[in-house]
Chain A
Amino acid sequence: MNATITNPDNGTLIYQLQCDVVAATLPELRSELRRLVDEGARDFVIDMANTRMVDSSGLGLLIALHNSLKKHNGRLSLTHVSKDLMKLFESMRIHQFLTVSPA
């Protein structure tokens, strides 16, 4: 079950992912993330400590979230990203427009 924590000091929403971001998990994740943005989340941090795999559709979801937040002057950061995922994000140049920090 993915969990959210909101930092009361600065309003940052930390979304603790508990699954991979792949085609099979996309529908539920998309719906959850959309709800959080609709409810006003703008400074969005996805904690990927428990995420081992992201495929191309998962990359698409992260970029769609980035685009949504950008429209509202918000931002997306990814934290605790594994070495394998860091390499993938760098090869796909995701790190050029998302803040990505390693595990």
Chain B
Amino acid sequence: MPPRRVVEIRRTLPATLEALESFVAEFATWAETHNLPQRFESELVLREALTNAIVHGSACNPHMLVTCVVRLRRCRLTIAVSDQGPGFDWRDRWDHVPREMDCSGRGVGILRGLCHAIRFNQSGSRLVLVRHLL
């Protein structure tokens, strides 16, 4: 069972894929410590949020920073990711359905399929995801 109290990890990372992998490894240990259910889905959602911030929001610029907070309270997992980039028109991507041969455009679809709530700020530089774990 997940913990009754709120537990969280909060990190500020350089916008690199190496930093993403290190943080995901830390998340995996944290998830195991707190008996997080649905770890695959939660890790995937975390990866999508961070990749979006690092690759699209920050162009993998190691001098830019990405902030991530992962919070677990009972069976509610919240992931909040912010980047320092100019943002993007998330409304334009929201209903996009990729065609069979499209090699990109599946990230938002994955988030929509696995999250119970998704919130972008106005500019698209901050994303908050909620998963209910039971």
- A10-18, A31-39, A40-48, A50-58 - interface stretch: A50-58
Cβ-defined contact, B103 with A23, below 8 A:
no
Cβ-defined contact, A60 with B51, below 8 A:
no
How many of A's residues come within 8 Å of B, CB to CB?
21
Q: What bracket does the count of chain B residues touching chain A fall in?
A: 20 to 34
From B114, which residue of chain A is reached at the shortest CB distance?
A: A91
Cβ-defined contact, A60 with B103, below 8 A:
yes
Cβ-defined contact, B106 with A59, below 8 A:
yes
Q: Output the least CB separation between A66 and chain B (Å).
A: 8
Cβ-defined contact, A22 with B47, below 8 A:
yes
9 cross-chain CB contacts under 8 A: A23-B17, A23-B20, A24-B17, A52-B40, A56-B107, A60-B103, A88-B44, A92-B106, A93-B100
Interface residues of B (CB under 8 A from A): 17-18, 20-21, 40-41, 43-44, 47-48, 51, 54-55, 100-104, 106-107, 109-110, 113
**A23-B51, A64-B103 provided; 13 other pairs, C-beta below 8 A?**
A23-B20, A24-B18, A53-B47, A55-B47, A55-B51, A56-B51, A56-B106, A56-B109, A60-B104, A84-B40, A84-B41, A91-B113, A92-B106
